[in-house]
Amino acid sequence: MFLSRKGTCWALALVIGIQTIRSSAFAQAQGAAAPQGGMGQSFSFFMPLVLVFGIFYFLIIRPQQKQAKKQQEMLKAVEKGDQVITVGGIHGKVVGTADSILTLEIADNVKVKIERSSVQSVKSAGKAE
């Protein structure tokens, strides 16, 4: 799983710090003959990295977080009487719920217990076939 938002900030700060130290060491290695670029030169070194990270965040991390949140809300809303489809492709009707276990009736008098997290999609009782 990707880093949390707080972890991402720390990782970004670490990368920026390393890049700044690296560019300072490079400037010192050039000696006194090379002109000092100052903060502008350091900033130009890590700006592409920040840009790539921003694109990565908005195209990959953020949509995945939204999808995971939506999935968690759906799993919390599963109730008795709902029609569900499991990750394994089993269609059934919820006849019992517990904290993390659902009891599905998949045929007449055939009941199975599954983990709540193995539910892929839910059809509410009003939309049942």
The total number of structural domains that make up the chain: 2
Residue 129, pLDDT score? 45
Residues 6+ away with beta carbon under 8 Å from 92: 83, 84, 86, 104, 105, 106, 112
* Each residue's pLDDT tens digit, 43-90: 777 888 888 899 989 999 999 999 999 999 999 999 999 999 999 999
* Of 10-19, 60-69, 97-106, minimum mean pLDDT range: 10-19
The residue count of the chain comes to: 129
Residue 117 has pLDDT above 70, yes or no: yes
45 and 95 fall within a common domain? no
Question: For residues 58 and 24, what is the distance between their CA atoms, to the nearest angstrom?
Answer: 31
Range of the domain at 100: 83-127
* Each residue's pLDDT tens digit, 27-37: 665 654 555 55
- On whether the CB atoms of residues 84 and 78 are closer than 8 A, the answer is yes
Q: In the listed set 76, 91, 114, which residue is the last one of a domain according to the structure?
A: 76
24 and 43 fall within a common domain? yes
25 and 59 fall within a common domain? yes
Please name the residue that has the structure tokens 């919390």.
76
Query: In the chain, what percentage of residues exceed pLDDT 90?
Result: 50
19 and 45 fall within a common domain? yes
51 and 88 fall within a common domain? no
Predicted structure pTM score = 0.56
64 and 102 fall within a common domain? no
